[in-house]
Structure 1
């Protein structure tokens, strides 16, 4: 799987590029087609970021990531 930097992930925020990506536990997921991530925002969360530390505050579990396509891993 391809490795992307945090800067490359940040460009997939729903504003700078067509792709909308988020990372969780080192894996990058494509949420472009999710109606819940329109314009790169999902409630108080923004795309193009690592959401690992934010998940404990979410009303759902990490199982939501099982439905998403993995596009890469997060590197330095």
Structure 2
């Protein structure tokens, strides 16, 4: 389960959307209010992973994924969605 760190900086949905791997090099996604940096993942090149796009909240989309939310444990938490 991701650790919710209250000392993380806050980012709006608009700010998160800029970190989509296209407008900037950063590839970020949010899950349960925490924003993760997925830039190091080869599966997220160019900000896309199967039918999912970076720069958005993936909380509702994870329901249909073939993996658990533990996948986010591999990535650094860089902020919280405000």
**Displacement of 1:24:** 0.1
Q: Which residue of 2 aligns with 1:12?
A: 19
- The answer to whether the aligner puts 1:67 opposite 2:74 as a matched pair is yes
Tell me what 1:42 maps to: 49
Tell me, in whole angstroms, the C-alpha distance in 1 between the residues paired with 2:62 and 2:9: 24
Task: Flag the structure with higher helix content.
Answer: 1
Unaligned runs of 5+ in 2: 1-7
Q: Does 1:56 align with 2:63?
A: yes
RMSD: 0.4
For the residues of structure 2 that align with 1:59 and 1:18, how far apart are their CA atoms? 26
SS at match of 2:60: helix
Unaligned residue ranges in structure 1 (runs of 5+): none
What CA distance in whole angstroms lies between the structure 1 residues aligned with 2:40 and 2:71?
14
Structure 1 segments of 4 or more deviating over 4 A? none
